[in-house]
Chain A
Amino acid sequence: MRTMKLLRPSNLSRSLGGDILNLLFLILCGCLMALPLLYTIFQALKPLDEIFIFPPRFYVRNPTLDNFVQLLVMMGESWVPFSRYLFNTIFVTITGTIGHVIVASMAAFVLAKHRFPGQNLFFNIVILALMFSYHVTAIPNYLIMARLNWVDTYLALIVPYFSYPLGLFLMKQFMDQIPDSLLESARIDGASEFRIFWKIVMPSVKPAWLTLIIFIFQQLWTMQGGVYIYSEQLKTLSYAFSQILLGGAVTIARAGVSGAVGLLMMIPPIVLFIVTQSNIMETMATSGIKE
């Protein structure tokens, strides 16, 4: 009886056996999902003789930080100081994230709370834009960047992400829930629209902006700059790491380092997600596309 209470409040359509089976199934699948991530951690901590062992071992027996040391040495030898890559990634990620949250929230605010001609058309185009990947627009985008003289500047990396459609979409759906009466009473008190946006709307949609932050962070954090950046000093961390791994992860001399790189790249987004998880769930609950 106690276990049943522990698993879930008594419910007519649930059987205890089914609940236990469900838990076991999820634990099993969860282990499978976590396996490659665990392998990354183990691989990063393996000394060279454990990386090349037959039969290969999943876990690590004598963990060492050698791979990280080796990575640091490699980074120290690179032409551009390692700290520069790190700075570039942090700069691009932070400005891109802040800009996106502000620009998308301003647009979402009027789409959700104002009535004006063209608003539905605009929102429908944004929904349509959710449907294609950046590859489709990559070529004309480059030409536009070239025309604007933005190639080889941070602007080319940052500004397009300000209008990341997923962010606007989620923010608008979330803002729909804010009661109109709240805004109306502020208007009667003589507050300007910008003041209402900044002092009333933004603080009350904190879960949504945390969600936008994690999604855009995911995009910007792994961004390599691609064709837009050719100066070595402006390249990002993700690019520098990919150069170290050049030749594939199977390159013998760098097999350990690649584990270290993978571990370093995967930690920030996961930590950020853990910190903001409850807010993200609150936002995603409103994410539906209404017919």
Chain B
Amino acid sequence: MPSEPMQTSLSMPYKRKLAERGRLGRLLADIKKNKVSYLFLAPYGIIFLFFTVLPVVISIGFSFTYYNILEPPQWIGWRNYINLFLADEVFLISIKNTFLLAAITGSLGYFASFFFAWLINELPRRIRPFFVLIFYAPALAGYAVSQIWGILFSGDAYGWMNGFLMKLGIIREPIYWLTDPNYMLPVLIVVVLWMSLSHGFLAFVAGLQTVDRSLYEAGYTDGIRNRWQELWYITLPSMRPQLMFGAVMSITSSFAIHDVLVPLVGFPSTDYAAHTVVSHLVDYGSFRFEMGYASAIATVLFLVMVGTNKIVQRLLRKVGQ
């Protein structure tokens, strides 16, 4: 829709009607005039509508129903949401785990992405690509080799971590890293952090190279002494768009942790100790076929992600001030 300025001076209803018809007519003419643009947009737009926009709308609709795929959905109002927050203990565990994982891996991963990108940018130009590759490789190939962590943290004495600690004499018998509820989350956090230098990291590395050199020169004459001052007063403020992009990427991935935990701690994990909101969603959607309930979980997750993004973006506007 074109954002036409509101015509407040026209208070009489029939005049407004006339104006609106004019507006609609203009819109139709506009669409006709821009036929080519819409044709270009159409393939993407249609696929996006069918497999992204429509699913979100349907999901919100289903969340107010009882739906098991075989029978038609029944409207049950807010009951799914009420059950989620008041009667589902596992959901509360999963919410707690998700927030914990997101708070730790999301924020640390984000800061690490920027920090390492910045340090790499301080290196001579010629050796930068090598370091970018080394730091980005886990995110690139990490999912394919995530079972290697299963071997590193294997629960027997042949697991590398256990063997290492036993050889040093720190522990006397192997720790069940991946089945003992006390150790699952910390191990998971390590693995997720290892893979977290992802799209945001690349955006930061690239963005740092394009910061206007003359800003730095102006900074030196204004008395900037060291690289830390330079970072806060010049580099960060001019990187704000990339910082926004990186934040979106890391929030999205840190709230949606599930795929990586399945090969490590199993699904479901012992005592649901590593259960996340997405795990809960997969459980109800793909195993129990309670689509209405699963949709309610998805809707909650969606709102949490968008809400967190809005808050973080507001915070990022304060950078360098």
Chain A residues near B (Cβ < 8 Å) = 6-8, 12-15, 18-19, 22-23, 25-26, 29-30, 33-34, 36-37, 39-40, 43, 51-56, 58, 103-104, 106-107, 109-111, 114, 116-122, 125-133, 135-141, 143-144, 159-160, 162-163, 165-166, 168, 193, 197, 215, 218, 221-222, 227, 238, 245, 248-250, 255, 258-259, 261-263, 265-267, 269-270, 273-274, 277-278, 280-285, 287-291
Interface residues of B in 140-156 (CB under 8 A from A): 140-141, 143-145, 147-152, 154-156
Q: How many residues of B contact A (CB 8 A)?
A: 115
| Given pairs A265-B145, A266-B141, 11 additional interface contacts (CB within 8 A) | A13-B226, A14-B122, A54-B157, A131-B305, A137-B56, A138-B298, A143-B58, A159-B47, A160-B47, A269-B144, A284-B207
Q: Does A287 contact B252, Cβ atoms closer than 8 Å?
A: no
Decide: A197 and B40 in contact? CB cutoff 8 A: yes
A232 to B268, CA, bound (A): 26
Q: Is B249 an interface residue (CB 8 A)?
A: yes
State whether the Cβ of B74 lies closer than 8 Å to any Cβ in chain A. no
The dominant DSSP class at the A interface is helix
In Å, the complex CA distance between A55 and B45 comes to 57
Q: Within 8 Å CB of A106, what residues of B? A: 40-41, 43-44
CB interface residues, B 37-67, toward A, < 8 Å: 37-38, 40-41, 43-45, 47-48, 50-56, 58-59, 62
Q: Judge whether A262 and B148 touch: CB under 8 Å.
A: yes
Q: List 19 A-B contacts (CB under 8 A).
A: A13-B225, A13-B229, A30-B134, A33-B138, A37-B138, A56-B160, A131-B251, A136-B55, A136-B298, A137-B51, A137-B298, A144-B51, A144-B54, A162-B44, A222-B143, A250-B151, A261-B147, A277-B132, A281-B209
- Chain A contacts for B134, CB-based, 8 A: 30, 33-34
**Given the known A-B contacts A37-B141, A197-B40, A258-B147, are A248 and B152 also in contact in the complex, defined by CB atoms under 8 Å?**
no
- Chain B residues numbered 194-248 whose CB sits less than 8 Å from any CB in chain A: 194, 197, 199, 202-203, 205-207, 209-210, 216, 219-220, 224-227, 229-230, 239-245, 248
